[in-house]
Structure 1
Amino acid sequence: MGRIVYWMNTSIDGYIEDRNGGPGFGEPAEDFQEAANDHVRRIAAFLFGRRLYETMEKPWTQDLGKEGAPPLEREFARLYKETPRYVFSDTLQTVPDGVTLVRREDARSTVTRLKRETDGTLQLGGPELAVSLLDLIDEFWVYAQPVIVGGGKPYLPVTTELRLRLAEHRSLASGITFRRYVRP
């Protein structure tokens, strides 16, 4: 049975985007890119909401896959393209090969089926999608960048308390921290 991991990069004040809708974190540090590549090597599939999918797809399938990009970023692009991707959207009409389009109304049944049929990690991304599937998430991963953005889109806009247990914590030389939380 698969595990669903909700992973987003945040500011230390808990936002995935600043007030202007951008990540506001600057260029990724090399040690972060190495850690991200290590995680992506073990991912069985990406499960994205539409906005995160649109943020990820072009840069990692077209821009950074080109010659001249840093080697770690080219490796991430290769790993990203090789990993099955599911996008949950009611507005997209088509997606490229390697991506499966799922209507939002079918998200719960699709993710439940994938979790049952997959041996490995299903990486969930996108706060609205995560909230709609909150009870299916096994782990919460946070890479906190050493920046305070002072507002924007929160990591997980829940309206109720969710208690978790810290299972792993690492600090990277760049000042980025990784925290992995599981349900108690």
Structure 2
Amino acid sequence: MGKVIYWMNTSIDGYIEDRDGGMDFLEPSEDFQEAANDNVRRISAFLFGRRLFEAMEKPWTQDLGKEGAPAVEREFARLYKETPRYVFSDTLRTVPDGVTLVRRADAVSEVARLKREIDGTLQLGGAELAASLLDLVDEFWVYALPVIVGGGKPYLPVEKKLRLRLVEHRSFASGIMYRRYARP
């Protein structure tokens, strides 16, 4: 049985986007990028909401695969392209090869099916998608970058309390803090 992890990078005040919808404050450091590459090597599939998919797809399939990009970023691009990607959207009509388009309305049943059928880690990304799949999420990963943005889209927009257990934490020389939480 697969494990669903919700992984998003945030500001230290808990936002994945600033008030204008920008994510440029989430620029990863090299030490973070190396850790991300290690994590992605163990991921069986990416599960994305439409907006995160659109933010990830072009940079990691076209821009950084080019010569001249740092080796650690080219490695992430290679790993990203080799990993099956599912995008949950009711507005997209087409997706690139290697990506499976799933109706947003079918997200719960599709992720439950993937969790039963894939023996590995399913990396969930996108705050609204994660909120709709909250009962299927096994772990929550937070990489907090050393920046405060003062508002925007929160890491997880839910209106109920969910107690978690800290199972791992790590700090990076760049000031990024990683925390991994599991359900009790």
* TM-score for the superposition, normalised by structure 1: 0.98
1:38 maps to a residue whose letter is: D
Work out whether residues 9 and 26 of structure 2, in 8 Å CA contact, stay in contact via their aligned partners in 1. Answer: no
5+ residue gaps in structure 2? none
Which residue in the other structure is 1:41 paired with?
Answer: 41
Cα shift at 1:43 = 0.2
Work out whether residues 88 and 107 of structure 1, in 8 Å CA contact, stay in contact via their aligned partners in 2. Answer: yes
Aligned-pair identity in percent equals 83
Cα shift at 1:131 = 0.6
Which residue in the other structure is 1:157 paired with?
Answer: 157
Cα shift at 1:24 = 3.9
Cα shift at 1:27 = 3.2
* TM-score for the superposition, normalised by structure 2: 0.98
What stretches of structure 1 move > 4 A for 4+ residues in a row? none
Work out whether residues 64 and 73 of structure 1, in 8 Å CA contact, stay in contact via their aligned partners in 2. Answer: yes
Tell me the distance in 1 between the aligned counterparts of 2:100 and 2:157: 26
Count of matched residue pairs = 184
Tell me the distance in 2 between the aligned counterparts of 1:182 and 1:93: 35
5+ residue gaps in structure 1? none
Deviation by residue 1:57-99 (Cα, 9 ceiling, x = unmatched): 0000000011110100000000000000000000000001000
Which residue in the other structure is 2:27 paired with?
Answer: 27
Tell me the distance in 1 between the aligned counterparts of 2:122 and 2:50: 16
1:103 maps to a residue whose letter is: R
RMSD: 0.7
Matched, 1:117 2:134: no
Cα shift at 1:23 = 1.5
Cα shift at 1:140 = 0.1
Cα shift at 1:19 = 0.9
Tell me the distance in 1 between the aligned counterparts of 2:24 and 2:70: 21
